[in-house]
Structure 1
Amino acid sequence: MSEATLKELIEAQLRTVFDPEIPVNIMELGLVYAIKIKENNRIGIDMTLTAPGCPVAGDIIREVDEKVRNIEGVSDVDVHLTFDPPWTREMMSEEAKLELGFL
């Protein structure tokens, strides 16, 4: 499987992960900063949350890890949570802004 195909599969899985407080997936919210495909298809994901004190942080990270780990060919997953840069509404896709009434 090519790296581009694997990245597409990862992005598709991440579009099924939703912030329970906002009915939009984490990709459209702009919470995923980077997807890195490393040696032996070890996946690194840099992501953030809408707020540092997010009460469901553990659930979202666990769901990201599980869904990416279940992709055929993925050997391991490292989810790195960062708040640098801090998330802002400007990071959301146009679709997410429309859906949430920010446009």
Structure 2
Amino acid sequence: MSTAINNQSTEQYWQALREVMDPEFPISVVDMGLIRKIETKGSTVVVTMTYTSTGCACMTWIESDITERLLQEKNIDEVSIHVVWDPPWTVHDMTEEGRNKMKHWGVSS
């Protein structure tokens, strides 16, 4: 995974996003490796993320789910999502848990 989940101040948001599933696979957006970075600025959570492809049909849905989930967190009034394409997503961005789930579903990673 490209960003380690060890920043104490954002750990709760990483954990919250483990509840947001990729619409195509029953794998969280965190385990898919879509979330690159999470920062806080006052009562705003800033999420830097990517997608598996530029043609992902679920972008709006995923961003809406991320926003909805993070707004449930205490002291969060706003969510800002920044989509980046560099570096491009690869299967190496997935967590070990994500890769294991893909294998379970018969998708080679």
Q: Same fold (TM over 0.5)?
A: yes
**Which structure: greater helix fraction?**
1
Q: TM-score range by the shorter chain?
A: 0.7 to 0.9
Instruction: After superposing the two structures, state which structure 1 stretch, 74-83 or 54-63, moved more.
Output: 74-83
RMSD: 1.6
Q: What TM-score, normalized by structure 1, do the two folds share?
A: 0.86
Aligned to 2:21: 18
Aligned to 1:62: 64
- Counterparts of 1:71 and 1:95 in 2: how far apart (Å)? 24
Shift in Å, 1:75? 2.6
Determine what percentage of the aligned residue pairs are the same residue.
29
For structure 1, the 5+ residue unaligned runs are none
SS of alignment partner, residue 100 of structure 1: helix
Query: How do 1:38-57 and structure 2 match up within 5 A?
Result: 38=41, 40-57=42-59
SS of alignment partner, residue 10 of structure 2: helix
Q: What is the aligned counterpart of 2:83 among 78, 81, 84?
A: 81
For structure 2, the 5+ residue unaligned runs are 1-6
Q: Report the number of matched residues.
A: 99
Q: What TM-score, normalized by structure 2, do the two folds share?
A: 0.82
